[in-house]
Amino acid sequence: MKTTKTKLNLALFLLITLFNSCKKPTEQKNTTTELNWEHLIDNKLTHWDTYLSFKHKLGYDGTAPKNENGDLIAPIGLNDTTYQVFKVIKDGEDLNLKISGEYYGALISKKEYENYHLQLKYKWGDKKWEPRKNLLKDSGILYHSIGPMGAEYWRSWMLSQEFQIMEGHTGDYWSQATSAIDIRAYIPEYIVNPMANETQDFIPFGEGSIYENYCLRSNNYENPHDEWNTLDLYCFEDKSLHMVNDEVVMILKNLRYLNNNGEFEPLTKGKIQIQSEAAEVYYKDIKIRAIDSLEQKLNSYF
C-alpha cells in the first residue's frame, strides 16, 4: 500500500513539473509579444498632432467655406487646443481618448508607418452634431495618409484609405481624395451597394474605377452601443485587412493613389488619422507593432 501511494505521489509530481515546463515558454512568448507593441496613448498625446477644419453645417456642398461677405474662412488648423475636441481622460486604470466630434478634423500620428498591425478599442458616446445630428454616429481610421490636410470633400483629412467606424457599418471602406484599392466584393448592381465577401474576386474601388469609392463590410460584428469593440488593421506591402471583434470583414489589395501627374502610385505607407466627424466617440488601448509578413491564416485570404 505504501509503495502504491509513493508511486502515485511521484506521478503527480512529474505531471505538475511537466505542466509548468510547458507553461513557462508560452508565458515568456506572450511577454515578448507584448514588448513589440508601441502604445500610442498617453496623458499628453505625445504621439499625435491634431487638426481641426470647420464646424460643418447641414447642406454643406464640399466647397471652401465662406463668410457672409464671400471671403474664404480659414480652417482652425494644427494643434489648436482651444476647442478641446481631443482629450485624454482617466477611467480607472485606463487612459481613454475622448473625441467630441463637434468640429471636423483628426488626430494625426507624428510618424509614418509601413507594414504594421494596428489595434484599438472604441465605443460611442451620446452626443451628435450637425450636419450628422439625425444620421448614424460616424468616425474612422484613415491609414497610409499622405499630403496636405483638407484634400478631400470635407476639407478635413489627408489623402488616405479609410477603415470606417460607423454604427452598423464598422469595417466599411471609403476612398479619401484620389486613393484607390481592390476589394474582394460582390459587383454592385443598380442601386445595390457593393459588399465585401471573401468568396468573391477582387474588384477596383476609388479613383479611376467604374465602381464607387465605397464598399460595405461583409457583416456586422459590432457590440452593443455601450460596449467596447476591438478593431485590428493589418497592412503589409500592398495589402490590408479590416477586422472587427476578431472577424475579418474586408480583404483589400493594390493600395494606390493618383498623383499630381495623373499617374497611379503604390500607397503602402503613411500617417494614421483618427477622425472627428460629428459624433462623440471614445478610444483606448491604441497600439501598433511592425510586422515582416502576414501570418499564414491571414495571408490565405489573398
More confident residue, 278 or 226: 278
State how far the Cα of 254 lies from the Cα of 182, in Å rounded to an integer.
6
Q: Are residues 235 and 287 in the same domain?
A: yes
Mean pLDDT of 86-90: 97
Q: Are residues 62 and 139 in the same domain?
A: yes
| CA-angle at 248, arms to 247 and 250, nearest 5° | 145
Lowest mean pLDDT among 25-29, 202-206, 236-240: 25-29
Q: Are residues 261 and 112 in the same domain?
A: yes
- Whether residue 149 contacts residue 295, with contact meaning beta carbons closer than 8 Å, is answered with no
- Whether residue 138 contacts residue 165, with contact meaning beta carbons closer than 8 Å, is answered with yes
Average pLDDT in the chain: 91
Mean pLDDT of 226-254: 98
Q: Are residues 67 and 102 in the same domain?
A: yes
Could you give the number of structural domains in the chain? Answer: 2
Q: What is the pLDDT of residue 8?
A: 45
For residue 192, the 8-state DSSP code is P
Q: What is the pLDDT of residue 287?
A: 98
- Whether residue 184 contacts residue 197, with contact meaning beta carbons closer than 8 Å, is answered with yes
State how far the Cα of 62 lies from the Cα of 171, in Å rounded to an integer.
24
Q: Is 25 helix (H, G, I), strand (E, B) or coil?
A: helix
Q: Are residues 129 and 211 in the same domain?
A: yes
Q: Are residues 11 and 67 in the same domain?
A: no
Say what the pTM is. Answer: 0.88
By percentage, how much of the chain surpasses pLDDT 90? Answer: 80
Q: What is the pLDDT of residues 251-278, one digit of tens each?
A: 999 999 999 999 999 999 999 999 999 9
Q: Are residues 7 and 122 in the same domain?
A: no
Q: Are residues 206 and 285 in the same domain?
A: yes
**Which single residue is written with the C-alpha cell 479609410?**
162
Which residue(s) pair with 288 in the sheet?
A: 38, 118
State how far the Cα of 222 lies from the Cα of 169, in Å rounded to an integer.
9
State how far the Cα of 125 lies from the Cα of 111, in Å rounded to an integer.
28
Q: What is the pLDDT of residue 83?
A: 94
Q: Are residues 3 and 146 in the same domain?
A: no
More confident residue, 146 or 61: 146
Expressed as residue numbers, the domain containing 16 is: 1-35
Q: Are residues 73 and 173 in the same domain?
A: yes
State how far the Cα of 247 lies from the Cα of 221, in Å rounded to an integer.
7
Look up the CATH number of the domain holding residue 154: 2.60.120.560
CA dist 58 → 64, 99, 132, 138, 278 (Å)? 15, 21, 8, 15, 11
Q: Are residues 16 and 55 in the same domain?
A: no
Q: Are residues 151 and 11 in the same domain?
A: no
Residue 47 has pLDDT above 60, yes or no: yes
State how far the Cα of 217 lies from the Cα of 270, in Å rounded to an integer.
23
Q: What is the pLDDT of residue 33?
A: 56
State how far the Cα of 240 lies from the Cα of 232, in Å rounded to an integer.
10
